[in-house]
Every structure is written in structure tokens, then in C-alpha cells.
Structure 1
Amino acid sequence: MKKIIVLMLIISVFMVGCSSSKDNSNQNANETEGSNVQSENNTPSVVFVVTGQLGDKSFNDSAANGIKMIEEKLGFETKIIEIGRDQTKWEPTFMDLSEEGKYDIIITNGSNAKEVVQSVATEFPDQKYILFDTEIEKGLNENVYSISYKQNEGSYLAGVLAALVTTSDMEYANEEKIIGFIGGSEHPIISDFLVGYIEGAQSVVPDIKVMVSYIGSWDDTAKGKETALAQFAQGVDITFPAAEQAGLGCVEAAVEMGKYIVGVDSDQAMLFKGVDEDKANVILTSVLKEVGNSLVRAMELDQKGELPWGEFESLGVAEGGAGIAINEYYEKNVPAEIATKVAEEKERVEAGGVDITSALGLPAEEVDVIVNAVKP
């Protein structure tokens, strides 16, 4: 009987031990799983909400490339959502993302979204937002950081180049040289491009004329082509379309007519390299707004605790936020003496030695004075 009792006690202890071991094993497994989840949650994350479309080979694509660099270079979890230009969809999207709370930082583009984002940011003070290509009132939202770009500085250099390259007066026996500018629509940022472009051109050819046209769209490539063809037919041999995706139609027109284009936002010639060499060769340079690089810079500063939340920064040539593209097509198609002059002007701009008007905050009537002074 005693033997049976002892045996039962041994079996009982053994079973309890196994049960305890199994429980500990499960507990360790849960801890490991929880640790993995926590590790995933600790991975910084951003979502880029595109208030427009990708595929423009300029502004939005530059930003998307920056998001890709943030993932590859910095190890962030990233996502891109395209919500188009229908502004009725914007606020619900930002509200949903903010309520979800999945992403540390919500990034979006353009000044048109500023009021929506700042309103949502007020309701979700713990969510962080980055607006680029616009300025915010400092201190209004401590959870919002914005980046603006001195596109007038890059455009100034493009104007210098265009004025030196054009042969319009010789081709058409005009008394004055004429270059072109094509905007997607009238907008303060587009005016900033235009004013810088005009002043750069005037710095080397004081009596130059600038034909200004507006497509009335940011994505209608057919209308963009039609607008550029009209300028070329009137004597323009180089034009600068600041029109996002619609500007790609202007590139098509330049190929057909054997004229030149100044690209915008991204290094557009290099985007066509190996894909469509005819298009790459008509893009002498591009006015760069280094959107992608500025977003990477912002994430690096935030990781160091140095990003100035609640404020905005304006990045120009000196800060690496603006400039023009110097690539193999530029080196091949731009005469050396002109390239030298442009490089000298770039050094002056970088050093703060050139006073370039900004249209941002400038009354519309003052912008009109600048533009009307160079009308053909």
C-alpha cells in the first residue's frame, strides 16, 4: 500500500513539473512574441498622403522617392496613399489615419492641404504631421512641421540659362529674345517660379521677353502639349513648364518641334534616360525642389530630436533644397561658356550675393508688374 502511495506521489510531482514546465514554455513564447510585436511597434513609421497622383515625374514622384529612401536608408515602415485632387476626400482621410494612430508621422504635400491638416492636427495633438511645399504659422500646431522651398532661386538660375541659350531673335528676326514659361495654374508658388525665372533671364539679357501661359490643369498632358506648341509657334525655342504631370505634354511638344524644355522639381532628363532619349535630350536642365532629400533630412533630424516641430523651414540653394540639375545631358547640350556663366551665378546665389524677389507673400499687383514688364 505504501509503495502505491509513494508511486502516486511521484507521478503527481512529475505531472505538476511537466505542467509547470509547459506553462513556463508558453509564458516564454508569449514574452518572445510580445517582444517581437514591441520591436515592430518601435520601428518608426510614416505615411505619405498624396493629394494628387504619382507618375508626374516631378513633384509627387520626388516626394515618393524620398519616402523610399526613408525606408531603405533609415529603416522606417512606410506607406503611400494617393487620394487625388478631390478635396472632399482629404479631411476624412486625415481623420481616419489620425484616429487609427498606426503611423508616427503623417506626411502630405501642397499648400492646399494646409488648413485641413492643421485643423485635424488640433484634434489629435499626439499625432505628428509634416507638410511640405508650404509654410505654417509658427507655434499654432506644435505637432506640425512644414518645409517650404526657395524655388525662386533655382528658377533664377534656369532663367540665366534660358536667356543665354535661346536663339529666338536670330531664328525669327525679332528685335528681342523671347523665352517661355507655362504654369499649371496661377498659384503663389508658381508665381515664385516665374518671378525668379524672369529675374534670372533679365540679369544676363535685360530686355528679354517672357511669354507666360497657363494650362489650367495639373494632369492634362494633352492640353500641356497644346500650350507648348502654341508658344513654339510664336517664336519661343525654350520654355519652362511648372505644371506637374501636365508638363509632360510640353516635353512631347518640344520633341516634335525640336525645341528645349526646362524641367521642374525632379531631374526629369535622367528619368527619361534609357527610356526615351529624345525626351531626355530636349530637357536642358530641371529646376530642382529637393523634396525627397528634404523629407529624409526631416526624418534624420527627428530621430536626433532636432526637428523644429511647430515651425517651418525654407530651404534654398545654400541649404540644398533648391537648384538646377547638372547631368550628362546638360554637359552635352549646353555650351561650355554658358555652363561657366551659370556656375558663377550659382555661386553668387549660394553665397547670398543675389537679391531675388520672392512672390510668396507679395501682393498680386506687384507680381503683375514684374510679369507685365516682360510681356512680348
Structure 2
Amino acid sequence: MHVPDGFINAPVSAVTGVVAAGAVAVSLRGARRELGSERAAPLAGLVAAFIFAVQMLNFPVAAGTSGHLLGGALAAILVGPYTGVLCVSVVLLMQGVLFADGGLTALGVNITDMAITTTVVAYLVFRGLVKVLPKKRRSITVASFVAALLSVPAAAVVFTLIYAIGGTTDVSIGKVATAMVGVHVLIGIGEAVITALTVGAVVAVRPDLVYGARGLHQPLKLKVNGELVDAPTPVTTPVAARSHRKVWLVGLAASVVLAGFVSFYASANPDGLEKVAHDKGIDQKAKEHASSDSPLADYGVKDITDARISGGLAGIIGVGVTVVAGTGIFWALRRRRTSDVASTEVPAASEQVS
């Protein structure tokens, strides 16, 4: 659903850019709270890289149409909604600048649609379901499936609204809305399957690494003098640092394999937005990407003629750049949070001494 340059006029693109910048600023503050542990920053960077990798795997959804993961639901559930917005935004920035995927003037539109909308909708649905479902691991998976499923058509609706306000061609918005929502419901099923499988796999082995699984277990009850009371919380041994590194390495290896090798077998059909844009004529004023001469444009390495090697190498480079950029941003936020906490604790301690 990457919107190219020329679909949306300049004023509306500017407004969505302001909205996106404001949301990213809020997310930067909120992510400081979510990145509470030392392991959170590299895990968030890994989530961004994994989303980049899986987005390269277009899957067929209808005759002549494909879809790919948007990633907002997956990121929000794994690392938190604020950090999730940043994860998807990092992916969109890397794709736009390095791979000429998604217009640079439309970056605000894409962040608003693919990062903010999907993350907010998915996390609200997920939290609502988790509150009413039994506190079991299976409930996390079920809630992830439904949240991801609904987040994709929600993004299609938001794009249609943006196009209705600032579209550059005169087309029937009703027909665009019907086509966009219809095909993205099908894409949403693929998104839901990928999200549920990924979240379910992580919850099965390390539920402590899943932001949305916090408070998963109900407190144990003991019967004392005929009344049920909460049992004392058992003291748990901290998970070894190498165990966390193992999960990170496995996730990175999976991302490299998906982007570097499996992506060669992805569907070559246009994705949902491209198909609707072509069929309904909303791509008449699409512009050439400003980074079309990038050495990695269109997910291939320039001057390498073998399509398999070119695409695979581009995918591996993309995973590497995304994990480094994402981890760097989240480490900086983590350090900023640590320094803020330290600065508030020092005056408090000096007041007690005096």
C-alpha cells in the first residue's frame, strides 16, 4: 500500500506530513516508557528488520493482485504501540530513500496510513479482546489475528479518505472505496495469518518478550480458612542474557533468509493499491520516484544482471540497514530515558540527605 508521488496533491501531502511528524514525536516520548529493559532496544530494531523482510514477500490474494504485510499490528503487539509506530516508520523511510518504494513527498501519507492507522487500530482491538478473553497464550494469538485482520481494511479506508480530500484525479470515490476495502479485506487475512503465527511462536517460547502478553497469567489462588486468597508471587530467576541473544540471532537469521532468498518466489502481481490505482485511473498523475536512480531501486542491486542474486542481495542489505538504523534509534531513546530517570532521582536523594 505504498503511495507513490503524484497520487495526493501538495497541500494534503504537507498536512499529512505534519500529522505524521506529530505522531512520531509523540511516539518518541511514549517509546521511552515501553523501552524499559536493556533488551528492548535491539528487539525493537529486530522487529523493524523483520517487517522489512516480510514486506518483500508479496502473496497472491485475487486474480492479478497480490498483498504484503503492513506490520503495524505485529509491531504494536510485540514491542508496544508507540514503539510500533516508530518501527514501521523506520521501515517506510528506508524503503522510500533506498529502494524507491513509496514516494518521498508521500512519506507523510504512508506513515499516517501504514504506521499510525494500522498500529492504533490493531492495538485498540487487541487490548479490547485480551481483556475479555481467557488469560491464556492462545488468547494472545487469537487477539493478534483479529487485530491484524481489521487493521488492513482500516488503512484502506484512511487512504480513501485522504484521496477523497487531496486526490489528483477526478474519479468516483465510491468505486475507489469499494475496490480498496474489498481487496484489502483479503490482504488482511494474509496479514492476520502472518501476525498470529509470529506472535504465537514468540509467545510459545518467550512470552516475556511480547509487550502485549504482559499480565498474561492469572494469580494463583489458595484456600485459607475457607476463603480464596492470592498466592505469594514466586521468585523467578532472571532469564540469562545469552537466551535473549539467541532469540535475537534467530530472528535476524529468519529475516535474512526471508529477504535474501524466499523473496525471490514472491508474487510479481501488483499489490492491492497498485491494482486499484490502475483499474480506477487514480495513477494518471503518478510521478517518477526521486530515488529511482538509487543503486537499490526496485529491490535490486544496480549492475547485477542475475535477478536472484540482485534481489537477494538487496533484501539482505535492506535488513542490515533497517536493523542498524532501528536499533540505533531505540538505543538512543533508551539512553535518554535512563538519563531522565537518573536526573530525577539525584535531586530527590539530595533532598533526603539535607
TM-score by length of 1: 0.30
* Bigger fraction of residues in helix: 2
User: Rg larger in 1 or in 2?
Assistant: 1
TM-score by length of 2: 0.32
Which structure carries more relative contact order (alpha carbon 8 Å, separation 6+)? 2
